[in-house]
Amino acid sequence: MSETAKLELAGKTYELPIITGTENEKAIDIRSLRAETGYVTLDNGFMNTGSCQSGITFLNGEEGILRYRGYPIEQLAEQSRFLEVAYLLAYGELPTQAQFDEYLKQMSNFNNLPNGVQKIIEQFPNNSHPMGVISSTVCSLCSFYPEYLKMPLEAEDRERGIVQMMAQTKIIAASFYRQTINKKPVPSDPSLGYTGDFLNMMFDKEPEPEILKALDVLFMLHADHEQNCSASTVRVVGSSEANIFATVSGGINALWGQLHGGANQRVLEMLTKIRDAGGDYKMFINKAKDKSDPFRLMGFGHRVYKNFDPRAKIIKKACDVVLEKLNVQDPLLDIAKGLEEEARSDDYFVSRNLYPNVDFYSGIIYKALGIPTNMFTVMFVLGRLPGWLAQWKEMREDSSIKISRPRQIYVGHNKREYVPINNR
């Protein structure tokens, strides 16, 4: 007999099925709970709630394991390429050479932006935050490609939408940056590879292979992270059958927040503040521990990783490679390493399992590459895009999917009578 959990409520016993994932992860299936018992569950921040069954990414926070479609992140970072990983996430298998060539060919149909989109970008003031520009401009694409508004979306349009987003989002990001430095956009040249094309569009200069590899690794490490805040947003927005651009735009906005992808910008601002205050990082550690102080050590802690973030380990190494190759001595790196060392031996951080996360060292790499601080989270967008697209595709292909619509526990007033304004 299959395993069940027993729930006792008001003298009655209910049996709830147990679901076991391929890595032996256990879940209690509560899908029939409300219908059978009248009860719902309450789970602030969804800390204990599985929102879907997914075959894309496996993550074990206790052991620091991250795998895409079964492949360990360490192997992919060492041997693969970002676009190959993007293909793997979307289609479930590593591509053959012929499949990969076809994927690139499809993408090359979207090597520029419609004129109108370019004009929209031009309307943004140069001091706009690039995350707002990217999310609005990505959403605006639906006005230029109305075929994606058709519902139900044909499988062919879904596949085209995925490669289109991969090709055009980086063009939008680089175009806006060029505008902020009063330079014309540089045309996309996919023959330079994903990261090469992006850096060339930003700086009108082909980067060194070591730099390309480091950025490619960084993007691979960001590519998916199962049901994080932005991926969940993508699934929630996409569950209403909103179009692909509106859906991805939702993910971009969720990523912007400083507790999620926006942390990479905040880390650099924090390190700069520590440097400007004389480099006394112990003082900032104490501030982070002080519950009456809202300051948090940005780039530290994670909802799921409670041992170490496997991505942070790889990024720390990439950081050393980039700084050495570019011959950059960045005092912020010393402050970052000092902070990490101090926090690792401090009971506050150790007892709460707070370790550097993916955002802690990535900003130092971006800074060395010449990426402006307010574009750091845009770099995260470019890395995370394949994950959002894969999550959206998986959801759209699942015929059992339901519109996301949680319940609540109402704690407001009970019924009361309206009082006209002059009697209040």
Residue 83 or 358 with smaller CB distance to ligand CMC: 358
Residue 12 or 291 with smaller CB distance to ligand CMC: 291
Residue 45 or 146 with smaller CB distance to ligand CMC: 45
Position closest to ligand CMC via CB:
301
Least distance CB 139 / ligand CMC (angstroms): 21
Residue 195 or 362 with smaller CB distance to ligand CMC: 362
Least distance CB 325 / ligand CMC (angstroms): 25
Least distance CB 261 / ligand CMC (angstroms): 5
Residue 122 or 293 with smaller CB distance to ligand CMC: 293
**Of 302, 309, 320, 398, which residue is the catalytic one?**
302
Residue 263 or 268 with smaller CB distance to ligand CMC: 263
Length of the chain measured in residues: 424
Least distance CB 301 / ligand CMC (angstroms): 2
Least distance CB 252 / ligand CMC (angstroms): 13
**Of 197, 216, 224, 359, which residue is the catalytic one?**
359
Strand order in the sheet with 12-20: 4-9, 12-20, 26-28
Least distance CB 259 / ligand CMC (angstroms): 4
Q: Which residues bind ligand CMC (CB under 6 A)?
A: 45, 228, 259-261, 263, 288, 296-303, 352, 354, 357-359
Residue 76 or 298 with smaller CB distance to ligand CMC: 298
280: annotated active-site residue = no
157: annotated active-site residue = no
Backbone angles phi, psi at 48, to 5 degrees: -120, 15
Give the Cβ contact number of residue 259 at 10 Å: 12
**Cα–Cα dist 40/408, whole Å:** 8
Least distance CB 187 / ligand CMC (angstroms): 32
Which positions are annotated as active-site residues? 302, 359
